[in-house]
C-alpha cells in the first residue's frame, strides 16, 4: 500500500501483479469485485425487466471497462480457439 501511495504522490506508474489481487484486505481484489456484483445483482433482481432502453444502456456503460478487459484477455491468451 505504501508503494501505491508514494507512486500516486510522485505521479509514477506502479507495476501490478496477479499476486497483488489475490491478497485480502484494503487492496481491491477480483474476488471483491465479484462479491460486490453479486450483491448488486441480488438488489436488482427482476427489476431490470422494467428498465427503459436508456437505463439499460447507462448500466451497460458502467460495465464497459470490464467487458473490454475480458476481450483483451481472450485475445491475448487466445481463449476463444
Q: Are residues 2 and 19 in the same domain?
A: yes
Q: Are residues 51 and 74 in the same domain?
A: yes
pLDDT score at 22 = 59
pLDDT in tens, 15-67: 656 565 556 655 678 888 898 999 999 999 999 999 999 999 999 999 999 99
Q: Are residues 7 and 40 in the same domain?
A: yes
Distance CA(50)–CA(56), nearest Å, equals: 10
Distance CA(77)–CA(81), nearest Å, equals: 9
Other residues' Cβ atoms within 10 Å of the Cβ of residue 7? 13
Q: Are residues 57 and 31 in the same domain?
A: no
Residue 4's nearest CA partner among 66, 17, 70 is 17
Q: Are residues 33 and 50 in the same domain?
A: no
Q: Are residues 79 and 58 in the same domain?
A: yes
Distance CA(53)–CA(78), nearest Å, equals: 33
Query: Are the C-beta atoms of residues 48 and 56 closer than 8 Å to each other?
Result: yes
Q: Are residues 18 and 38 in the same domain?
A: yes
What predicted TM-score, i.e. pTM, was given to this entire model? 0.63
Task: Domain of residue 64: give its range.
Answer: 46-81
pLDDT score at 59 = 94
Amino acid at each position: 500500500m505504501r508503494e501505491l501511495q508514494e507512486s500516486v504522490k510522485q505521479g509514477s506508474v506502479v507495476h501490478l501483479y496477479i499476486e497483488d489481487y489475490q491478497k485480502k484486505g484494503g487492496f481491491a481484489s477480483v474476488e471483491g469485485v465479484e462479491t460486490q456484483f453479486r450483491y448488486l445483482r441480488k438488489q436488482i433482481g427482476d427489476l431490470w425487466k422494467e428498465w427503459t432502453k436508456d437505463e439499460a444502456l447507462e448500466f451497460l456503460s458502467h460495465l464497459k471497462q470490464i467487458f473490454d478487459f475480458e476481450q483483451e484477455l481472450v485475445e491475448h491468451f487466445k481463449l476463444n480457439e
